[in-house]
Structure 1
Amino acid sequence: MTTTDPLLGRLVDGRYEIAARVARGGMATVYRAQDRRLDREVAIKVMHPHLADGVDGAAFVSRFRREARAAARLTHPGVVAVYDQGLDGETSYLVMEYVPGTNLRRELHEDGALTVRRALDVLAQVLAALAAAHRKQLVHRDIKPENVLVTHDGDGEHGPDDRPRGRVKVADFGLARAVTEVTSTATGTILGTVAYLAPEVITSGECDARTDIYAVGVLAYEMLTGELPHAGEPPIQVAFHHVHEDYPVPSARVDWLPAGLDALVASCTARDRTARPADAGAALTLVERLRESLPDDVLDRRAEPSTTQGTAVEGRGDEPGAGADPDELVSDPDPFDAIPTAFFQEVSAPAQQETDLLVDHPTQAWDAAAGPRPGRRRHVVAWALAAVLLLGGGGLGTWWWFADGPGAWIDVPAGVAGVPLDDAVTTLEAAGLRTTSSKAYDDHVPAGSVVTTDPAPGEPVRTDGTVDVVVSRGVEMVAVPRDLVGAEGGDARAALQEAGLTVGPAEKAYDDEAKPGTVVEVSVPEGSVQRHDTEVVLTVSDGPAPVQVPQVVGKKESEAVDDLEALGLEVTTADPEYSEDVPEGHVMKQEPEHGTTAHRTDTLTLTVSQGPPLVEVPDVVGMSTAKARKALEKAGFEVDENVYLGGILDKVRFQDVTGEAPKGSTVTVTIW
């Protein structure tokens, strides 16, 4: 039968042109599309319209967008990138990286068990991607072969058909949660890919990074043995095995597998999640150490196909990933396998921890010659017993429906957020719910109005339960600490953060007095009251400003001091020195020299000239004029002659300077 897909050829949101349908699953249909804006090939996942219908439709759309935004934060080469999400009319869609290739389910279907080397390589790549997610507090919640895409890059080992097996990428981070938070609220059931579901998810709905580790352990078992335990049994019976029995080790089916692989699977699938590796990073370390310890003859070996068991879980996944071979196109899945939560215990975990997933139907090959499988017989017996109990226990079923089943739960009414407390209490009491109240600061909801409820609007609560109403205190106001100016920058920042204020990047300023690194200014007044989200900026001293030392040698001392002090420099003088070249009272030396970089408040030392040195004046009285002049000039003096009577006797009778005098000064002699 040939059908026409109405989305083929359509332009979604005016941007994504649908080129071909890649796969169809229980949650969405995946198409290959062309992003006209960025001119690139992408995969677009269009959610089935029924998920957004009914009372819970708005909640689904909201959760779908929130989970898509969370997945878009994750960037890793081993993760299928999320590019965009939106709503085109009534069509919710998600745009992802297009990965040409297939998925691990197809590889298992074609190859059976993988070689130990290939299995460990796939585990390492999956765990590396999960480790990046776990570091960002993101949990996948639905690890299974359908969500592990195998690229066509040909870098991996070759399969039995000699075709290369490429690298792997993990798809669909967090998307199952958006669907199943709505589904589980409406049905009161746990919906899950049962073969990979951790015990704590079945019993309490709780989920964390170790839940992903459990699924990875199941994946390891399946890749090493080529099949899953309990295949063909009813989902409720498979879940019972997970909760009450230790997961089998791979050597129970493939006896030559080493104990190290058994230990890895047992560690990852421990029923007590505290015994599992804390996150994917810790599990990746175990895989890498194990791979290094195994010899090549073990690494290159694969398990032989079983003659009594078919391959585990073949066929569809909930949705194929963001890229797959077109020949993997499948039709809508059968109805979900639902496990009533009352089969185990009441699911009381918060909604954000629920991990209700779509159930993947396990299948097995059937040997016609061998007749019906034991699992099939157990299936028939189980349902026959259920029919007897149903016929004889109608009253008990009615009691369970209203005491612990779906009839015992209602959704918290909408319309209570943002309204005054009294109005919210009235609405909740009208629904038959009791209320308590608590207070919390909120930047947007006015004081006295309701911020939210616990459980939140739209989430389930028992019909006789209590809802905590969280009332706004208004915007949180914080007192700015005092004595910040003068404190060390790090101490001031810590005081502001401890007070609950946001501290912006520090600014720096030169200051002649403040020690470098200390606060000189705060952007808000100390001791004032500010909004908690006010960004406070500290101005921190960078010490005195740098200056370039000028040239003051040759200047009068007073002028030099004025010039230097104008630049913020301190001036001191050394002992004066004699100089025949620099006049007395002028600067003959400076330290540091001109052109040097100094800082304001640094001290500069000046040496001032006290003129020429003192020398002994020769006694020239009685000498002839020529001898007197020669003696004085030789001693470094200038000579001035005062001649009487024409100097007839040519004798020096008097000289005006005796003893010591500055070198170079003038001595006057009187000649007769």
Structure 2
Amino acid sequence: MAQVTTDPLLGRLVDGRYEITSRIARGGMATVYLAVDRRLDREVALKVMHPHLAEGVDGAAFVSRFRREARAAARLAHPGVVAVYDQGLDGDTSYLTMEYVPGSNLRRELRAEGTLTVGRTLDVLGEVLGALAAAHRKGLVHRDVKPENVLVTTEGRHVKVADFGLARAVTEVTSTTTGTVLGTVAYLAPEVIATGACDARTDVYAVGVLAYEMLTGTLPHDGATPIQVAFQHVHDDIPSPAEREPWLPAQLADLVTRFAAREPGRRPADGGAALDALRAVRASLAPEVLARRAEPPAGFVPPAPVPDGAAASDSADALDADELDAIPVAAAVGPLAEPVPVTTPPDGISAWFPAEDADHATEPLVDQPTTRVTTPATASTAAASPAGTAPPRHRRRWPRVLAWVLGLVVLLGGAGYGAWWYFEDGPGAWTTVPAGIEDVTLDEATAILTTHGLTSSSTEAYDDTVPAGSVVSADPGEGAEVRRDGSVALVVSLGVRMVTVPDGLVGSQQSDAEAALAAADLEAGPAHQEWSDTVPVGEVMDVSHAANASVPHSTVVTLTVSGGPAPATVTQQVGRDRADAQAALEDLGFAVAFTADEASETVPAGRVIRQTPTSGTQAHRLDTVTLTVSSGPPIIDVPNVVGMRTGAATDTLTRAGFEVDTVKYLGGILDTVRFQDPEGTAPKGSTVKITVW
């Protein structure tokens, strides 16, 4: 019978605002719940730190890391990153409020499908790299890219990167301070395992492993223990995915191995560079390759479907244990937390995994038994006395007393020297920098150091995440060794560095405005274009922030730039009346020009014969459309038919292009044309009246 465990937080109202309805997942630092924000009436994901992590001597460090996660993630505003809304403390409960993304994650998609098509793989990688590129531009490294942290939306097409809980500012992650490397070992870069150092290229390595897994259905390195996997990451290049799937294009296989190169210098510099390389490879692939996928590995069995009516948390996958394998870094001191089930470690592994009993060896303090100090008096006495006989009772006792006094002096002197050495140069001369001195005010940090017998000095520096007046970092850092009479250098935040928006941006050319923003240490975002009949193309019309305004240095300033007159399509005006055609074109924003009228036998006078540009042409407002208007039929000579017979006169006028109207008197008894009207000239096609009698 299954054991049912009741979560005490289910149904609880956190901070008087967030009502927890169900549990989503549980990780190494926190549990994620689905909650309802009563204030804004929306569903959110509530990440609650495990209470036991805030206890003990390291509790302050865990709380500091949890808060740092909130600040790091809140700095990222990207559609591919799970947004952080809020962070707070309710009693002993530290929590984050994040965007709730209904759907699944990439791990479940891989469990269900085994492998993904090339096109789907590149789509997922593109969105993951886009999110990482945004983080890298902010100086943040994710450090835990893996399928569990790639959320797939309900519609199943788009993904979001979650859990920047291991992220740090690049300047804070050059080495670890706790002696362990946080991250899932299957996706860890060699430099993280060997030295603890990482940068944006560390995330690119994890993306390369992720690409290999999606294409082939397996991981590039495998082993019975995390140590064996870590050893392979450090000493072996990942195999080309084309070795498992020979049909994969060479450029795609090379991209994966370049992302996951052991030497950081061979990888793309950051997520943005990796995304550019990915897009170039995708553009070179044929549609039939994008639609193809590898067969799932041998033994692959899709998971059984969840029974109808079962809650999401009832399924085997619902609560993915977000395991963070703690791998000791190079030169870490102390035994492994648990015995490693490997009888013969691989060559070189002892360089970064010390022997288990390395710190349990005891150095002998006494090599020889203590002997009595012999004096001349005692020597002579001993020589005179037979073996086993007692010395004479009358011998003097002061030599023995003197020996005891000298021994006591030597003992006390040695003890004093030992104590002096212990507290001056030995273990007693050193202490550990206490936790909890970061993310607090300078006075609070100084008080904590004072209680531990340490002094401090402080400098100030701008920081985008730590509030003004709070400690940004300490040197030596929390947990590091320092002499008992030593000093800790504290860096105190001046808050966000503010800069001034330059004046004169409006009315300048876009390139000049962007150069002025760069000189002011501000970033110009993608320009917004607007059409304008009055502002020339490329000229700045508006700026998102007022001139001379004081803004954070990370502010992205958006320029509104003129695109010139708006596009417009020339409409058909041929055959229309002059005035109507002109009004219609002017309503569309065009200027209208007329040529000299032309005679036309087909187009009535006053109507448009032709236009330039022609109908359907794409133009812009304020462009000129030229119209040619008909002046009517041409004026020609009227033949003189007076005196001609009726038939001959009619034929002559008709051939000349006129209509004939015949009027007969007395029945036209003589059949001779006596009069015609008009005479001289007349419009071609007009009617000529002839009188016959």
Q: Which bin holds the TM-score, normalised by the shorter protein?
A: 0.5 to 0.7
2:480 is aligned with 1:460? yes
Which secondary structure state, in structure 2, belongs to the residue aligned with residue 395 of structure 1? coil
2:44–2:98 Cα contact (<8 Å) kept: yes
2:358 is aligned with 1:338? no
Taking structure 1 as reference, are residues 294 and 311 closer, same or farther at Cα in structure 2, changes over 3 Å only?
farther
Q: CA deviation at 1:152?
A: 1.4
Q: CA deviation at 1:207?
A: 2.2
1:201-225 CA-partner distances (Å, limit 9, x unpaired) = 1222222211111111110011011
Taking structure 1 as reference, are residues 61 and 54 closer, same or farther at Cα in structure 2, changes over 3 Å only?
same
Equivalent in 71, 91, 100 of residue 93 of structure 2:
91
Which secondary structure state, in structure 1, belongs to the residue aligned with residue 19 of structure 2? strand
Which secondary structure state, in structure 1, belongs to the residue aligned with residue 108 of structure 2? helix
What aligned pairs does 1:553-572 form with structure 2 within 5 A after superposition? none
Equivalent in 162, 172, 175 of residue 171 of structure 1:
162
Taking structure 1 as reference, are residues 131 and 468 closer, same or farther at Cα in structure 2, changes over 3 Å only?
same
1:551-604 CA-partner distances (Å, limit 9, x unpaired) = xxxxxxxxxxxxxxxxxxxxxxxxxxxxxxxxxxxxxxxxxxxxxxxxxxxxxx
Percent pairwise identity: 58
Take 1:149 and 1:128, find their aligned partners in 2: how far apart are those partners? 14
Q: CA deviation at 1:228?
A: 0.4
1:429-460 CA-partner distances (Å, limit 9, x unpaired) = 956x9x9x6865899xxxxx997874266342
Take 2:358 and 2:450, find their aligned partners in 1: how far apart are those partners? 40
1:12-34 CA-partner distances (Å, limit 9, x unpaired) = 11111111112222222111111
Take 1:472 and 1:97, find their aligned partners in 2: how far apart are those partners? 31
1:80–1:97 Cα contact (<8 Å) kept: yes
2:219 is aligned with 1:228? yes
Take 1:378 and 1:337, find their aligned partners in 2: how far apart are those partners? 16
CA RMSD of aligned residues (A): 5.3
Q: CA deviation at 1:8?
A: 1.1
Question: TM-score, normalised to structure 2's length?
Answer: 0.51
Taking structure 1 as reference, are residues 292 and 378 closer, same or farther at Cα in structure 2, changes over 3 Å only?
farther
Take 2:452 and 2:270, find their aligned partners in 1: how far apart are those partners? 43
2:234 is aligned with 1:243? yes
Which secondary structure state, in structure 2, belongs to the residue aligned with residue 41 of structure 1? strand
Taking structure 1 as reference, are residues 409 and 228 closer, same or farther at Cα in structure 2, changes over 3 Å only?
farther
2:475–2:488 Cα contact (<8 Å) kept: yes
Take 1:442 and 1:388, find their aligned partners in 2: how far apart are those partners? 40
**Corresponding letter in the other structure for 1:21:** R
Equivalent in 410, 422, 444 of residue 432 of structure 2:
410
2:361 is matched with: 395
Q: CA deviation at 1:414?
A: 6.4
2:104 is aligned with 1:102? yes
1:75-127 CA-partner distances (Å, limit 9, x unpaired) = 22211111111111111111111111110000001101111111011001111
1:212-265 CA-partner distances (Å, limit 9, x unpaired) = 111111100110110102323321221122122222221122222111122111
Take 1:242 and 1:210, find their aligned partners in 2: how far apart are those partners? 15
**Corresponding letter in the other structure for 2:164:** F
Equivalent in 241, 244, 251 of residue 253 of structure 1:
244
Equivalent in 25, 33, 37 of residue 35 of structure 1:
37
1:327 is matched with: 315
Take 2:325 and 2:198, find their aligned partners in 1: how far apart are those partners? 20
Q: CA deviation at 1:341?
A: 2.1
Taking structure 1 as reference, are residues 110 and 414 closer, same or farther at Cα in structure 2, changes over 3 Å only?
closer
2:192–2:198 Cα contact (<8 Å) kept: yes
Which secondary structure state, in structure 1, belongs to the residue aligned with residue 206 of structure 2? helix
What aligned pairs does 1:491-502 form with structure 2 within 5 A after superposition? none
Q: CA deviation at 1:38?
A: 0.6
1:588-644 CA-partner distances (Å, limit 9, x unpaired) = xxxxxxxxxxxxxxxxxxxxxxxxxxxxxxxxxxxxxxxxxxxxxxxxxxxxxxxxx
**Corresponding letter in the other structure for 1:110:** A
1:624-665 CA-partner distances (Å, limit 9, x unpaired) = xxxxxxxxxxxxxxxxxxxxxxxxxxxxxxxxxxxxxxxxxx
2:266 is matched with: 275
Which secondary structure state, in structure 1, belongs to the residue aligned with residue 481 of structure 2? strand
Question: TM-score, normalised to structure 1's length?
Answer: 0.53
What aligned pairs does 1:299-310 form with structure 2 within 5 A after superposition? 299-307=290-298
1:143-175 CA-partner distances (Å, limit 9, x unpaired) = 10000011112xxxxxxxxxxx32111111245
Taking structure 1 as reference, are residues 269 and 412 closer, same or farther at Cα in structure 2, changes over 3 Å only?
same
1:103–1:324 Cα contact (<8 Å) kept: no
2:470–2:492 Cα contact (<8 Å) kept: yes
1:405-432 CA-partner distances (Å, limit 9, x unpaired) = xx998335767984699x999959956x
2:279 is matched with: 288
2:184–2:324 Cα contact (<8 Å) kept: no
Equivalent in 26, 33, 48 of residue 28 of structure 2:
26
Take 1:265 and 1:381, find their aligned partners in 2: how far apart are those partners? 32
**Corresponding letter in the other structure for 2:432:** I
**Corresponding letter in the other structure for 1:171:** A
1:450–1:470 Cα contact (<8 Å) kept: no
1:68 is matched with: 70
1:2 is matched with: 4
Taking structure 1 as reference, are residues 441 and 202 closer, same or farther at Cα in structure 2, changes over 3 Å only?
closer
Q: CA deviation at 1:282?
A: 1.1
1:80 is matched with: 82
Which secondary structure state, in structure 2, belongs to the residue aligned with residue 3 of structure 1? coil
Taking structure 1 as reference, are residues 185 and 324 closer, same or farther at Cα in structure 2, changes over 3 Å only?
farther
1:197 is matched with: 188
What aligned pairs does 1:231-630 form with structure 2 within 5 A after superposition? 231-307=222-298, 327=315, 333=321, 337-342=325-330, 379=342, 382=345, 390=356, 394-395=360-361, 410-412=432-434, 418=442, 427=450, 430=453, 454-455=474-475, 458-461=478-481, 469=489
Q: CA deviation at 1:192?
A: 2.4
2:434–2:449 Cα contact (<8 Å) kept: no
Which secondary structure state, in structure 1, belongs to the residue aligned with residue 98 of structure 2? strand
Take 2:323 and 2:76, find their aligned partners in 1: how far apart are those partners? 32
1:451–1:472 Cα contact (<8 Å) kept: yes
2:194–2:330 Cα contact (<8 Å) kept: no
Take 1:329 and 1:117, find their aligned partners in 2: how far apart are those partners? 26
Take 1:335 and 1:409, find their aligned partners in 2: how far apart are those partners? 32
Take 2:331 and 2:93, find their aligned partners in 1: how far apart are those partners? 36
Which secondary structure state, in structure 1, belongs to the residue aligned with residue 327 of structure 2? strand
Take 1:168 and 1:334, find their aligned partners in 2: how far apart are those partners? 18
Q: CA deviation at 1:271?
A: 1.9
1:24–1:30 Cα contact (<8 Å) kept: yes
Q: Greater relative contact order (Cα 8 A, min sep 6): structure 1 or 2? A: 1
1:99–1:324 Cα contact (<8 Å) kept: no
1:493-547 CA-partner distances (Å, limit 9, x unpaired) = x9xx9999xxxxxxxxxxxxxxxxxxxxxxxxxxxxxxxx9xxxxxxxxxxxxxx
Which secondary structure state, in structure 1, belongs to the residue aligned with residue 141 of structure 2? coil
2:54 is matched with: 52
Take 2:363 and 2:72, find their aligned partners in 1: how far apart are those partners? 41
Take 1:450 and 1:19, find their aligned partners in 2: how far apart are those partners? 36
2:120 is matched with: 118
Structure 1: gaps of 5 or more residues: 154-164, 316-322, 347-358, 360-376, 399-406, 444-448, 476-493, 501-532, 534-672
2:110–2:214 Cα contact (<8 Å) kept: yes
The alignment covers a number of residue pairs equal to 422
Which secondary structure state, in structure 2, belongs to the residue aligned with residue 76 of structure 1? coil
Taking structure 1 as reference, are residues 328 and 138 closer, same or farther at Cα in structure 2, changes over 3 Å only?
farther
Which secondary structure state, in structure 1, belongs to the residue aligned with residue 164 of structure 2? coil
Take 1:125 and 1:499, find their aligned partners in 2: how far apart are those partners? 32
Take 1:420 and 1:92, find their aligned partners in 2: how far apart are those partners? 20
2:206 is matched with: 215
**Corresponding letter in the other structure for 2:71:** R
